[in-house]
Amino acid sequence: MSRYLRIFLIFSRFSLKTTFQGRLGIILFIIGKIIRFFFLFMFVFVIFSHSRGIKGYNLNQALIVYMTFNLIDTVSQILFREVYRFRPLVVSGRFDLVLVKPYHPFIQILLGGVDFLDVIMLFPYLGLTLYLIAIGGYLYPGKLVLYLFFIFNGLIFATAFHILVLAIGIITTTVDHTIMIYRDLTSVGRFPIEIYREPVRFIFTFVFPIALMTNVPAHILMGKNQGNLFAYGLVFSFGLLLISVYLWQLALKKYQSYGG
C-alpha cells in the first residue's frame, strides 16, 4: 500500500503542475463552478422555501440532501478525473504502455489525475454542509459518524460506476458519452428521492442506485426511517463494485491495441 501511495502522490504532483499552468483558465473554471452551484442552490431554496414541506422535507433537510450530493460528487470528481482522459489512451494504443507498468492500471487511469480545482470547491461545500447540519439540530457525534460512513459508501458507488465506464471504454472506445450519461443520472440525487413518482423512484433506487448513493447519508443524519434501505445501500455498493471489477477483467480480455 505504501508503494501505491507513493505512486499516487507522484501522479498527483504531475497533475498539480499541469493544472496551474493555465491561471486564467483556473479563475474562469472556479467562477463557473460557483455560478452553477449558486443557481442550483437557489433552485432548491426557492422550491422548498415556498412550501411547508414537500414529501416530509423542509427547506433545511432538502438543502442537506443537496449538499450531501455535492460532497460525494465533488470528491469523486477530485479522485476520478483521469477517467475523462481514458479514451485517447485506448484509440492511440498508449494503453499498452500502462498495462506493462509494474503497478495496477487503476493507479494511473482511475486515480492518476487528481483535480485540484475541485479541491478548492470542497472546503466551502464542507463548511456550508456543517452549518446546515448545525442549524437543523443534527450535530450529534453518533449521527455524524454514520453520515460520514455512508458518504464513504456513496464513494464506493462512484468508484464502481467509474470502473464500469473504463470497461465500456475498452470495449467500445467510447468514454465521453458514457461518463456524461453517468453524470446526468446522478443529478437525480440532488433532490430527495421521495419527490419522484413510481416507477421512477424504484428505478433510481434499485436499478440505477443513485438514491442509495446520495440520499441515504442524509436520511441517516436526519433520522428518517427507511426500513432496509440502509442495508441495501451497503449490499448494493459492494456488489456493484465486485461486478464492475469483474466486467473490467472481461474487458481487458477483449482489448486490442489501437482500439481495434
> Of the candidates 241, 193, 242, 240, which has an alpha carbon nearest to the alpha carbon of residue 214?
193
Distance CA 23, CA 250 (A): 41
192-207: pLDDT as tens digits: 988 888 898 899 988 9
Residue the block writes with cell 443529478:
187
Distance CA 204, CA 107 (A): 30
The stretches in the chain having pLDDT less than 70 are: 225-227, 258-260
DSSP the chain: -HHHHHHHHHHHHHHHHHHTT-HHHHHHHHHHHHHHHHHHHHHHHHHHHTSS-BTTB-HHHHHHHHHHHHHHHHHHHHHHGGGGGHHHHHHHSTHHHHHTSSS-THHHHTTS---HHHHHHHHHHHHHHHHHHHHTT---HHHHHHHHHHHHHHHHHHHHHHHHHHHHHHHHS--HHHHHHHHHHHGGGGS-GGGSPTTHHHIIIIIS-HHHHHTHHHHHHHT---TTHHHHHHHHHHHHHHHHHHHHHHHHHH--GGG-
> Of the candidates 86, 89, 217, 212, which has an alpha carbon nearest to the alpha carbon of residue 147?
217
Distance CA 217, CA 158 (A): 14
What pLDDT sits at residue 18?
80
What pLDDT sits at residue 65?
94
Using a 10 angstrom Cβ sphere, with 0-12 exposed, 13-18 middle and 19 or more buried, the burial of residue 23 is exposed
**Spans of all domains in the chain:** 2-259
Greatest C-alpha distance within the chain = 59
What pLDDT sits at residue 148?
94
What pLDDT sits at residue 241?
96
Q: What is the number of alpha carbons within 13 Å of residue 89 lying toward its C-beta?
A: 20
